Amino acid sequence: MDQVSAWLHEKNPGLDGPIGVDEDLIEARLIDSMDFLEFVDLLEEISGSSIDLQEVTIDDFRTLARVKERFLAPAGHAEAPAG
């Protein structure tokens, strides 16, 4: 997730501090339509898997938590709750 956060900060130089895992990246305009395909390319590079845009929804990209769950978590392995 560090690479994703770094990319978001690079695209949004006025952004200070960490991005909350549940912050709406689209509503907060941290990802816009011009950057979306570049963001998908970044996720494909990090995950080592291609993303079929016909099999995802915009909500899959809405928060860092959802991005991690949908694209960056190991396949078939749900993460154990923190505690």
Say how far apart CA 49 and CA 33 lie, in whole Å. Answer: 22
pLDDT band at 17 (very low <50, low <70, confident <90, very high): very high
Question: In percent, how much of the chain has pLDDT > 90?
Answer: 87
Task: Note the residue count of the chain.
Answer: 83
Question: What is the rounded average pLDDT for all residues in the chain?
Answer: 90
pLDDT score of 82 more than 90: no
- Give residues with Cβ within 8 angstroms of 7, minimum separation 6: 39, 42
pLDDT in tens, 20-78: 999 999 999 999 999 999 999 999 999 999 999 999 999 999 999 999 999 998 765 44
Look at residue 76 in the predicted model and tell me its pLDDT.
53
Distance CA 68, CA 4 (A): 10
